[in-house]
Amino acid sequence: MYEILAQIVKFLLIGLIYYFLYNFLKLMVLDLYEERRSSEETVYYLQCEDGREFPVRSVTTIGRAKDSDIVIDDPYLSSKHAMIYKKGRKMIIQDLKSTNGTYINGKRIKRAVALRENDVITMGSRKFTFLRREARGLERGSDL
């Protein structure tokens, strides 16, 4: 009787150890993921026409997929629609073979294109303006 009880307690303890180890590792991975995302931020952001702002990192994916950096709920966007990445001192946008395409200032892009400040990016039914953080600060400062 004691041997069976000892075996049950042993398996319970091993199960608890694995449970705590799993949760500990899960928290570590989530913490590292958040640290990586915050450290790669650039001085640029996308401003949606509804006023929302999205920071642009060294590599930023845009789409409907939950694992995209900028998740946009729009039926005309592909799950992985476009990507913005840093190349040297420039920020580059590339369409990821989306169904409805990506447009810069009204022109559909077929290859990677360098972005300039105040470029209007259209994806699906959404429009975004590519801006620098310093420009936002100057606009706010001029209201004084």
pLDDT digits (tens, 9 = 90+) for 17-59: 999 999 999 888 887 777 665 555 668 999 999 999 999 988 9
Q: State how far the Cα of 15 lies from the Cα of 2, in Å rounded to an integer.
A: 20
Report the chain's C-alpha Rg in angstroms: 23
Q: What are phi and psi of 120, to 5 degrees?
A: -100, 120
Stretch among 41-45, 48-52, 67-71, 91-95 having the lowest mean pLDDT: 41-45
Decide if pLDDT at 140 tops 50.
Answer: no
Stretch among 12-16, 83-87, 134-138 having the lowest mean pLDDT: 134-138
Decide if pLDDT at 8 tops 90.
Answer: yes
**More confident site: 9 or 138:** 9
Rounded to two decimals, the pTM is 0.65
**Under a CB-based contact definition with an 8 Å cutoff, are residues 48 and 127 in contact?**
yes
Decide if pLDDT at 142 tops 70.
Answer: no
**More confident site: 88 or 129:** 129
Decide if pLDDT at 10 tops 50.
Answer: yes
